[in-house]
């Protein structure tokens, strides 16, 4: 069953067509990847899903709902959460505080009520949920550290935790492995699989690391100049002549030998 359905998505910026009649189906419980050269339209598609952009044409349905009817701040309430290519974190806050604040976006008790002592039961639930996500991501040892003192790998995991704290149905990951070393990237592979398996979260990701994408994703959509040129399993994408010509090239041969 498709959790996310995109039909004929078209986005234009002046005379530039960033997305041109793109269709996409993401099955519930899958890990789905978007790949393509720089400028192919991947970030534009993510920004449409986050309601940062409104497409010129097309339809986006999530859990059967037309999300184009909703404002951006409603996406997390509908069950869509995301990370960003460049981490969007508060440099003066602790790791655990990022997760607590992240859950206030969906908590029934507002920040003002919490500040005057209301909703204490819910506040305890928020903290308990934060500790659970911290444990899942292996952040226990640095949870009380200031985010600005931590290397990029931990900052990215903190942003991932903040996205997970709202208990999304669909998690959008924008280049999650960018800037990570080999060990951090390998760890992230396992975490994404655990998030899908243990939390029952569907994952849609954009990533340039082809080894990472081919290993972790169930299916892939390849964009080039705003158009979808191929869709299929990693093995099918590796062998597709259009994809090799447009994007993978020699990298496809090296990835196939791994």
**What CATH number does the domain containing 243 carry?**
3.40.50.300
Under DSSP, the state recorded for 23 is: E
Residue 123 has a pLDDT of 72
The answer on 173 and 159 residing in a single domain is: no
Residue 23 has a pLDDT of 98
Q: Which of 167, 200, 215 is the last residue of a domain?
A: 167
Report if residue 86 sits inside a domain: no
Q: For helices 95-103 and 120-137, what crossing angle results, to 10°?
A: 130
The answer on 173 and 67 residing in a single domain is: yes
Residue 24 has a pLDDT of 97
Q: How many CB atoms lie within 10 A of CB 32?
A: 21
Report if residue 37 sits inside a domain: yes
Q: What is the pLDDT along the chain (258 residues), one digit of tens a residue?
A: 799 999 999 999 998 999 999 999 999 999 999 999 888 999 999 999 999 999 999 999 999 999 999 998 899 999 999 998 777 787 788 999 888 876 655 554 454 444 444 467 777 788 888 899 999 999 999 999 999 899 988 999 999 999 999 899 999 999 999 989 999 999 999 999 999 999 999 999 999 899 999 999 999 999 999 999 999 999 999 999 989 887 765 444 444 444
The answer on 175 and 163 residing in a single domain is: no
The answer on 107 and 174 residing in a single domain is: no
Radius of gyration of the chain (CA): 19
Segments of the chain assigned E as strands:
2-13, 16-27, 31-35, 57-62, 65-66, 80-82, 170-174, 202-206, 219-224, 227-232
CA distance 196 to 91: 29
Report if residue 128 sits inside a domain: yes
Report if residue 85 sits inside a domain: no
Looking up tokens 């669909």, which residue turns up? 170
CA distance 252 to 233: 14
Q: Which of 123, 147, 167 is the last residue of a domain?
A: 167
Going edge to edge, which strands form the sheet with 16-27? 16-27, 2-13, 57-62, 65-66
Q: Which of 167, 184, 216 is the last residue of a domain?
A: 167
The answer on 113 and 73 residing in a single domain is: no
Report if residue 201 sits inside a domain: yes
Q: What angle do CA 44, 20, 83 make, to 5 degrees?
A: 20
The answer on 149 and 98 residing in a single domain is: yes
The answer on 116 and 59 residing in a single domain is: no
Backbone phi, then psi, for 14, in 5-degree steps? Answer: 65, -125
Tokens of 161: 């935790």
Q: What angle do CA 153, 104, 32 make, to 5 degrees?
A: 50
The answer on 134 and 29 residing in a single domain is: no
Residue 42 has a pLDDT of 95
Q: Residue 13: helix, strand or coil by DSSP? A: strand
The answer on 180 and 70 residing in a single domain is: yes
Q: What is the extent of the structural domain holding 155?
A: 91-167
The answer on 210 and 157 residing in a single domain is: no
Report if residue 102 sits inside a domain: yes
Residues in the chain: 258
Domains in the chain, number:
2
Under DSSP, the state recorded for 146 is: B
Report if residue 9 sits inside a domain: yes
Report if residue 185 sits inside a domain: yes
């Amino acid at each position: 069953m498709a959790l996310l359905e995109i039909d004929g998505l078209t986005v234009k910026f002046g005379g530039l067509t960033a997305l041109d009649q793109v269709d996409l189906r993401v099955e519930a419980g899958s890990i789905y990847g978007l790949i393509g050269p720089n400028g192919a339209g991947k970030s534009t598609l993510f920004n449409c899903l986050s309601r940062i952009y409104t497409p010129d044409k097309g339809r986006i349905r999530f859990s059967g709902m037309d999300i184009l009817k909703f404002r951006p701040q409603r996406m997390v309430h509908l069950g869509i959460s995301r990370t960003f290519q460049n981490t969007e974190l508060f440099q003066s806050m602790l790791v655990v505080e990022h997760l607590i604040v992240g859950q206030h976006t969906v908590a029934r008790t507002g920040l003002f009520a919490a500040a005057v002592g209301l909703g204490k039961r819910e506040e305890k639930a928020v903290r308990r949920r934060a500790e659970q996500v911290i444990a899942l991501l292996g952040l226990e040892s640095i949870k009380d550290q200031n985010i600005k003192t931590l290397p990029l790998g931990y900052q990215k995991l903190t942003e991932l935790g903040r996205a997970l704290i709202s208990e999304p149905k669909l998690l959008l990951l924008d280049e999650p492995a960018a800037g990570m070393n080999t060990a951090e990237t390998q760890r992230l592979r396992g975490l994404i699989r655990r998030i899908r398996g243990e939390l029952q979260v569907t994952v849609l990701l954009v990533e340039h690391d082809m080894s990472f994408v081919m290993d972790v994703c169930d299916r892939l959509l390849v964009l080039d100049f705003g158009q979808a040129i191929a869709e299929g399993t990693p093995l099918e994408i590796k062998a597709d002549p259009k994809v090799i010509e447009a994007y993978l090239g020699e990298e496809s041969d090296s990835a196939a030998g791994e």
